[in-house]
Amino acid sequence: MIYIIYTDNIIYDSFESGNNEIPNFSEAHERAEGQLRSSIGNMQLRLRSMQEEIDEVEDENWKSLVPPFNVTEEQRTAWFREKMPKSKVFMTNNLTHQFHSRVRKFFKSGCEEHFFMTWIAPARSFGRRGFFSIESLFKAHPSGCLIILSRSLDSRRGYRILKPLVDRGFKVNAVTPDLAYLFKNTPAEAWFKEMKGGKKDPGEIPIAQNLSNLMRLAVLYKYGGVYLDTDFIVLKPFSGLKNLIGAQSMDMESKNWTRLNNAVLIFDVNHPLLLKFIEEFASTFDGNKWGHNGPYLVSRVVERIRKKPGYDFTVLPPMAFYPVDWIRINRLFQKPENQGDSIWVQDKLLQLSGETYGVHLWNKQTSNLRIEEGSVMGRLISEHCILCQHIY
pLDDT value at residue 142 = 97
**b/e map 352-391, b = 16+ CB within 10 Å:** beeebbbbbbbbeebeebebeeebbbbbbbeebbbeeeee
Q: How far apart are CA 267 and CA 253, in angstroms?
A: 29
Neighbouring CB atoms inside 10 A of 319's CB total: 17
pLDDT at 136: 98
Q: Give the chain's residues under pLDDT 70.
A: 1-30, 32, 36, 38-65
Instruction: Report the relative pairing of strands 145-149 and 171-175 from DSSP bridges.
Output: parallel
User: Of 117, 115, 118, 121, whose CA–CA distance to 152 is shortest?
Assistant: 121
How far is Cα 272 from Cα 94, in angstroms, rounded to an integer?
32
CA 260 → CA 7, 18, 244, 315, distances in Å? Answer: 67, 84, 11, 8
For the chain, how big is the Rg over CA atoms in Å?
A: 26
- CB 145, CB 115: distance < 8 Å: yes
116 burial class (0-12, 13-18, 19+ CB within 10 angstroms)?
buried
Dist. CA 327–CA 346, nearest whole Å: 21
Give dist(CA 330, CA 227) in Å, integer.
Answer: 24
- Bridge partner list, 265: 227, 245
What is residue 333's predicted lDDT score, i.e. its pLDDT? 97
pLDDT of residue 32: 64
Query: Which amino acid would we find at residue 359?
Result: V
Stated pTM of the model = 0.84
What's the chain's average pLDDT?
88
The span from the CA of 277 to the CA of 187, in Å, is 10
